Amino acid sequence: MAILLVLIPLLSACSLLLAKGMAKSIAVVSSLINLGLTFFFLSQFNNEGGFQFGDDLIWVERLGLHFHYGIDGITLLLLLLTNVLTPIILIGSFGRKYDNEALFYGLILLMNAGLNGVFMSLDGLLFYIFWEITLLPIWFICAIWGGHDRIRITLKFFIYTFAGSLLMLLALIYVYLQTPGIHSFDITALYAVKLTAAEQCWIFWGFFAAFAIKMPVWPFHSWQPDTYTVSPAPGTMLLSGIMLKMGIYGLIRWMMPLAPAALKDSGQIAIWLSIAGIVYAAIIAIRQQDLKRVVAWSSISHVGLIAAGIMTATTAGLQGGMLQMLAHGINVVGLFLVIEMIEQRLNIRDMSLLGGIAKPAPKLAVLFMIIMLGSVAVPLTNGFVGEFLLLNGVFQFGIWAAAIAGLTVIFCAVYMLRIYQLTMFGETNQLTATTPDVNPREFWLLAILCVPVLFFGFYPQPLLDIARNDIENLLKIIAVSN
Amino acid sequence: MGKSLVGMVGSGVVLGSFILSVMAWMQVKESGAFEANAFTWLEVGSLHIEFGFLVDELSSLMMLIVTGIGFLIHVYSVGYMHDDVGFHKFFAYLNLFIFSMLLLVMGSNYLILFFGWEGVGLCSYLLIGFWYKNKEFGKAARKAFIMNRIGDLGLLIGMFMLFNEFGSLNYKDVLGAGLSSSYAITCICILFFIGAMGKSAQIPLYTWLPDAMAGPTPVSALIHAATMVTAGIYLVARSGVLYTASPDAMQLVMYVGLATATFAATIGLKQNDIKKVLAYSTVSQLGFMFVALGVGAYTTAMFHVTTHAFFKALLFLGSGSVIHAMGGEQDIRKMGGLKKYLPITHLTFLIGTLAIAGIPPLAGFFSKDEILTNTYYGGGSFVFIMLCITSVLTAIYMLRLYFLTFRGSFRGTREQEHHLHESPLSMTLPLIVLAILSVVGGFLGVPEWMEHKLGLHHTLNGWLGNVVHNAAHPAVTEMFEYTLLAVSIAILFILALAVRTFYISRKTLPEPDEEEIGIVKLLSHKYYIDELYDAIFVRPIQSLGTFLHDYIEKPVIDGLVNGFGRLSKSSGKLIRLLQTGNTEFYLLGMVLGIIVIFVLNFIM
């Protein structure tokens, strides 16, 4: 039944091409149906652990391919993120007119279908297929509607991520070939494979290459700042809000359970790479002038902490990682929405030309402030809970690791307060003096994003309860096969 | 909502909190401390955190200070901020501050404390940068937030260590058991102290506090003098059991406190901005409190927190009244003779000055006296003497401030003189209340030798004794106390005369900025510490950001990626040579491939 989450946007995307005039409404309705469905699954969800609402259809019997999907707590949280953000991103794009609307919104719906598929797949090959499917629409979105120099930048993004994915495919096939009897890509069969430490090391890096490029983790990140900057706002939001979570999800669902022994040695290197990225990206973010670039670099920094925390394979790290995926998704989409609103009004993103917007646009200033505070991880906002748990996880890995990763507490305040200061505070100039405040559509979009920022900062436990048992089970799998 | 309604609601809710705090205090007095858990905030693995509150002797004292002084300052703000366009916003932030501060002192575990801790930091940021159009103010606000965050990271890591050590963050679980000293506890104490350095403006994290004076004056009084900056003292006093188990950490606290007290007092001698003098004075007084903590006199430190809250809030509000009358002027070189224009402000300011200078029987005398006695026994003679000298410095810069502002003749413009007026009742009333508290506040904790004579008890010591104990020291001889008393009165008298002669009779004025030379220039530029930090932290990090972006990111990391791209492109050119368009060639390839597969299959 959960496959509806893939089918609905897929069919809507097709119908869009037929009924071109109604592109916007079809897209929004379709995304809202998916949102409703996700809430329905949430209401019916049993958090005692295990996959629900799924099915296991034989696809290619001789090759052991199954169309196997389902929803557990980990998946459910990411479905929530995907299907809450998609309508917001869609409606957020209405401020600008895009050529060939039907194609544009169709591609966004395709993204939605692909993302839901990635998070629900319980068959290795199916996962891989959805993984690659998501790459195409986002590439088209960025390459068709992007800004200056988009062809070169998006091509690099495409080839780079695709190359990483191929390494993952090799790793998947290798494990597949080790399954007994008729080989199987089924997740349980793959989990059951016993590999030597040396094999696991290769598998680890194969998967890590794909996931690290997707997130991205330092030093596999160099495609990201350019791509985020050049993409149209909805593309940037899809990439940063949802798509990068595919990489983090991959760590949890595939890499760590398939190569648990490698966590002890290769995993340490990967954790340190992630931590290096936290500091590296934050320091660069401090010096950027383009609003989008600051947030792009900040995303690398934040994702580094999520990756590091998750790879510590501790309860705190994993729970924190799950929570922070949601928080980061919401906050980063909020930030890019604000940037898009500024850009729509003033046609610039260069902070040295901005300033004083709080005066002509006080509502925008307040909403921006709340989202920014979530991003800075002030306690009682959503960003804090995840950061606290992740740093706690990293602390269990090593106190110095936690101290260095913790520098994000300081640096994030530096670059976020800086962009807030340079855009909202100070004297207005000729350009910014008459900046219109948010219209009702924009107000409600940002206000809706502010609700989870504040609510889950104040009361995070309901979210933690959703994935609690599935995370414990996963940690058991990792510990046992160790 | 109209302004008067906003003011009424804003102050009214704080008055309500004050009344509730009094009731909580009475309940604690009758039936001891009580705890209440609202809900489970977080449960992950063994980490279990309740959104819980603890009201005991220590927290109820802080609650009374926060809500009591908070209320007075809200009332004051109704008058002070009356013409400001951001009036509504101001009261919203101020109430948010009271909320955060109460969370800080009422939490029953370190994490709730941390919520409040960062919350007050946020309010401080918002209120320092309240007049957001001014770029310098914005800079000061960010500086405060970021410096506080450096400390917060210490506190955060300290909490992880604490949890690692005790398996809990609850005060009850951590502080209840008897502790033996260990390396881990020393680390925890030092990390907590790093947090306290940020919040309570101690060396090396103090430079944000003087800049924080960019905020409206009621904010300086409430947040940057009376309440928020004492959060660090509260944290250490609350964790007194841990610190007692770590003599090394206590030594550190004491020396950092001493260095800060002295250092800031010397800077205070040569500041010409009325609020800057008070700001450095606050830094210095906080140093006194840390010295007290460092010698194990936890309740004494809390005593000084209390009296300092009275007289420092009074002095700041008084300075606000002066600035209000002067139409925004803050330079004391342009004031003088305000006594006759602002009688109430003058009188209350004088009381505040005498209280902080330590004239008996005003509040500051008792608490400072207690710090000095405890230091005499717990800190050794060097620390004691340095602290005595710093007390003298305190008196000097305060008397200088008083005389330059209120005595002599007016030095401002004619227009300013014409404008001079006493502040409205909403502003003077809080001044009067605080002045009364500054006079009688000291009797909360009269020294032992006076207890019998006056029939009073050291109420505060006994009161807080249920939470933290002071390190024991031998009973103070009456002789010692009388000497201290006599000497301090004598010194103050001489100082007052000297300062008066210097600035009033001889009409010497502090030189204009550009004529400063030597030590004066060094002091007035605050030892160039801001410039130093800028040179060794701020600019190197900025340059590093540029360096990483221009010389590592583009050529190395991205260069490698592009290199790989080019490599595959050129290898693609090679492979393209195989695509000859010759069908036989393709067939040959196919056959060869099939053979390879068969062979492989056979071998495996």
pLDDT per residue as tens digits for the range B213-240? 999 999 999 999 889 999 999 999 999 9
Residue B135 has which token pair? 């770029």
Residue B565 to residue A392, Cβ atoms within 8 A: no
Q: With 90 as the cut, is the pLDDT of residue B141 above it?
A: yes
Average pLDDT over residues B247-264: 95
Residue B589: Cβ within 10 Å count:
11
What was the pLDDT predicted at A395? Answer: 95
Residue A65's SS3 state is strand
Calpha distance A318→A267 (Å, rounded)? 15
Residue A410 to residue B149, Cβ atoms within 8 A: yes
Tell me which chain B residue has its CA closest to the CA of residue A393: B160
DSSP A95-144: GS--SSHHHHHHHHHHHHHHHHHHHHB-BHHHHHHHHHHHHHHHHHHHHH
Average pLDDT over residues B305-319: 94
Measured between beta carbons, the chain A residues lying within 8 angstroms of B539 are none
Do residues A300 and A281 lie in contact, with contact meaning Cβ atoms separated by under 8 Å? yes
Q: With 90 as the cut, is the pLDDT of residue B327 above it?
A: no
Question: Which candidate from B119, B134, B149 shows the least CB-CB separation from A409?
Answer: B149
Q: How many residues would you count in chain B?
A: 604
Residue A95 has which token pair? 């401020």
Tell me: the pLDDT tens digits for B84-136?
Answer: 888 999 999 999 999 999 999 999 999 999 999 999 999 999 999 999 888 89
Residue A71 pairs in a beta bridge with A52
Tell me which chain A residue has its CA closest to the CA of residue B143: A414
Residue A55's SS3 state is strand
Residues 6+ apart with CB under 8 A from A48: A469
Reduced to 3 DSSP states, what percent helix, strand and coil does chain B have, rounded to the nearest 5? 75, 5, 20
What was the pLDDT predicted at B448? Answer: 67
DSSP category for residue B455 = T
Strands A65-71 and A52-60: antiparallel
pLDDT band at B177 (very low <50, low <70, confident <90, very high): low
pLDDT band at B602 (very low <50, low <70, confident <90, very high): low
Helix B247-268 vs helix B183-199: crossing angle, to nearest 10: 20
Cα–Cα separations (whole angstroms), residue B270 to A253, B282, B502: 64, 15, 14
Question: Which candidate from A378, A392, A425 shows the least CB-CB separation from B129?
Answer: A425
Question: Which candidate from A358, A389, A459 shows the least CB-CB separation from B44?
Answer: A389
Q: Is B56 left (phi over 0), alpha (psi -120 to 50) or beta?
A: beta
Amino acid identity of residue B398, one-letter, is: M
Residue B44 to residue A464, Cβ atoms within 8 A: yes
Q: How many residues would you count in chain A?
A: 482
What is the Cβ-side half-sphere exposure of residue B13, based on CA atoms within 13 angstroms?
Answer: 13
pTM: 0.92
CA A388, A394, A399 angle in degrees (round to 5)?
Answer: 105
What was the pLDDT predicted at B452? Answer: 66
Residue from A287, A301, A464, A466 to probe the interface with B (highest B Cβ count within 10 Å): A287
Burial of A296 (0-12, 13-18, 19+ CB in 10 A): buried
Q: How far is the alpha carbon of A134 from chain B, nearest alpha carbon, in Å? A: 22
Calpha distance A468→A471 (Å, rounded)? 5
Measured between beta carbons, the chain B residues lying within 8 angstroms of A160 are 561
Do residues B451 and B354 lie in contact, with contact meaning Cβ atoms separated by under 8 Å? no
What was the pLDDT predicted at B468? Answer: 82
Calpha distance B516→B518 (Å, rounded)? 7
Calpha distance A278→A224 (Å, rounded)? 15
Q: Nearest CA to B318 among B405, B399, B392?
A: B405
Q: Nearest CA to B127 among B89, B175, B74, B157?
A: B89
What was the pLDDT predicted at B603? Answer: 64
Domain positions in chain A are: 282-482
| pLDDT greater at residue B234 or residue B534 | B234
Burial of B552 (0-12, 13-18, 19+ CB in 10 A): middle
Residue A264's SS3 state is coil
Residue B540 has which token pair? 């190197």
What was the pLDDT predicted at B481? Answer: 78
Residue A131 has which token pair? 């993984």
Residue owning tokens 């409205």 = B424
Rounded to 10 degrees, what is the CA torsion of A205, A209, A212, A213? 170
Residue owning tokens 């309940």 = B27
CA B278, B283, B285 angle in degrees (round to 5)?
Answer: 90
* Cis peptide upstream of residue B361 (ω within 30 degrees of 0): yes
Do residues A130 and A82 lie in contact, with contact meaning Cβ atoms separated by under 8 Å? no
In the stretch 496-535 of chain B, residues with CB closer than 8 A to chain A read: none
Calpha distance B433→B522 (Å, rounded)? 38
Burial of B479 (0-12, 13-18, 19+ CB in 10 A): exposed
Calpha distance A280→B557 (Å, rounded)? 12
Residue B135 to residue A418, Cβ atoms within 8 A: no
Q: Backbone phi, then psi, for B52, in 5-degree steps?
A: -120, 155
Residue B447's SS3 state is coil
Say how far residue B7 (Cα) sits from the centre of its chain: 26
| pLDDT greater at residue B593 or residue B545 | B545
What was the pLDDT predicted at B586? Answer: 72
Q: With 70 as the cut, is the pLDDT of residue B158 above it?
A: yes
Interface size, chain A vs chain B, as Cβ–Cβ contacts under 8 Å: 127
Amino acid identity of residue B338, one-letter, is: L
Measured between beta carbons, the chain A residues lying within 8 angstroms of B134 are 426
Residue B38's SS3 state is strand
Question: Which candidate from B45, B133, B565 shows the least CB-CB separation from A316?
Answer: B45
Tell me: the pLDDT tens digits for B450-505?
Answer: 666 666 666 777 788 788 878 777 777 778 778 878 888 888 889 888 888 888 87
What was the pLDDT predicted at B369? Answer: 87
Q: Which residues of chain A have pLDDT under 50?
A: none
Amino acid identity of residue B160, one-letter, is: F
Average pLDDT over residues B542-571: 86
Question: How much is the mean pLDDT over chain B?
Answer: 88
Do residues A231 and A142 lie in contact, with contact meaning Cβ atoms separated by under 8 Å? yes
Task: Inform me whether the C-beta atom of residue B604 falls under 8 Å from chain A C-beta atoms.
Answer: no
Average pLDDT over residues B549-566: 87
Q: With 80 as the cut, is the pLDDT of residue B604 above it?
A: no
DSSP A386-408: HHHHHHHHHHHH-HHHHHHHTHH
Q: Is B167 left (phi over 0), alpha (psi -120 to 50) or beta?
A: left
Residues 6+ apart with CB under 8 A from A68: A54, A55, A56, A57, A121, A122, A123, A126, A186, A187
Residue A26 has which token pair? 């079809």
Calpha distance A421→A405 (Å, rounded)? 25
Residue A421 to residue B138, Cβ atoms within 8 A: yes
Residue B135 to residue A222, Cβ atoms within 8 A: no
Measured between beta carbons, the chain B residues lying within 8 angstroms of A380 are 115, 119
Residue from B49, B103, B112, B160 to probe the interface with A (highest A Cβ count within 10 Å): B160
Q: How far is the alpha carbon of A356 from chain B, nearest alpha carbon, in Å? A: 7
Residue A186 pairs in a beta bridge with A123
Tell me which chain B residue has its CA closest to the CA of residue A365: B132
Measured between beta carbons, the chain A residues lying within 8 angstroms of B138 are 421, 425-426
